[in-house]
Amino acid sequence: MLKAKVILVVIIILVGYIYFTNPDGIVINEKNKVEGLFNKGRAIVQKSKFWNLQFERVNQKYKENIFPSESMASQMKEIDQNINNIDKELDTNTKEFYTSEEQTAQSLRREADRIEKQGTYREIDEIVESSRLEELEKCKILISIIESRLLNAKPSYTIISLLICVISFVSLVIITKFQKASKLTSK
């Protein structure tokens, strides 16, 4: 009887946890697989609630990626301008300490650094854009997968099952108390 109570309590806690909690983020992949053991349980137990939440999250991610973000070059423009102003001021203040060749070399080094930074910014922008486009394609695939799952989703009867488990557990506790009381009175 004790084993039955323990098993029922574990089932109630586990199913309750799976039913009432939500997954962290998007937990379905492009291969139509739910990632993670608890998330697989949520998909089974929560049914349409789980798929609606996944649909909302994928749509949100799609909307976040629909338009390109500000380029790295434009984000860094003000910082680069401030650095250029500081460099010019430094050149003006230290002009007397350097020969014209050293000043020219310093100016060329800064120009080379500026060109190199622009190349780095361009590479970063290309990587970010590529990632954004990949994310959009992934979202499109996931949206179609989730929509098909939602069409086939049935209502969840988990709450009814949980209530049956709780009633069974309470019944076992009452039966145990009654048996103990019967044994005491029969002695």
Query: How is 96-124 classified by DSSP, letter by letter?
Result: GGS-HHHHHHHHHHHHHHHHHHHHHHHHH
User: In angstroms, what CA-CA distances link 14 with 17, 20, 146?
Assistant: 5, 10, 25
3-class DSSP assignment, residue 5: helix
Distance between CA 77 and CA 66 in Å, rounded? Answer: 24
pTM (2 decimals)? 0.68
The phi, psi pair for 175, rounded to 5°, reads -60, -45
- Quick check: 105 and 97 in contact, CB under 8 A? no
pLDDT tens per residue across span 103-160: 889 889 988 998 998 899 899 899 999 999 999 999 999 999 999 888 887 776 767 7
Question: Domain ranges in the chain?
Answer: 1-46+157-187, 69-152
